[in-house]
Structure 1
Amino acid sequence: MGEEERVDYEEIKPVLDYLEDTLDVNPSRILKQWSFRYESGELRTVAEKIYAYALELKKRTEEAVSSGSRFAL
């Protein structure tokens, strides 16, 4: 069984910040880990699956914000 692809935390950080600012969602909910573990350097990468989920959530959020419809989420 191959290893799961990983993404550096620094790549997902701006996405998490956007979601936290826009939706008031704690990054730990998306990461499925305490975000402090990433901020402290204990963890440095996230699973590709979580990164893809965060990007999709950001895209849907941007669409909802631009359309003015919270139901687009």
Structure 2
Amino acid sequence: MISVSLSINQLIEAIQQLSESEKQQVRGVLDGKYLLLTDEQKEEILRRESEYKSGRMKTYFLAEVKSSLNFLD
């Protein structure tokens, strides 16, 4: 892992100097588009998607989830 010490202003200035293509890559990282998953995590996502689409997975309304977590709005 690389560690770079920049203030937020230095980071903004550095990003402003990038090409539009490079800026899009930075946006992708910030939006989570470049999340790195292990093969095991990818398989689990596909398994859950299959269970959901086949109707074998139990689903809950948001209100039920909030209630079970004692979530207060």
TM more than 0.5: no
Which is higher, the Rg of structure 1 or of structure 2?
A: 2
Higher percent of residues as strand: 1
TM superposition score normalised by structure 2: 0.31
TM superposition score normalised by structure 1: 0.31
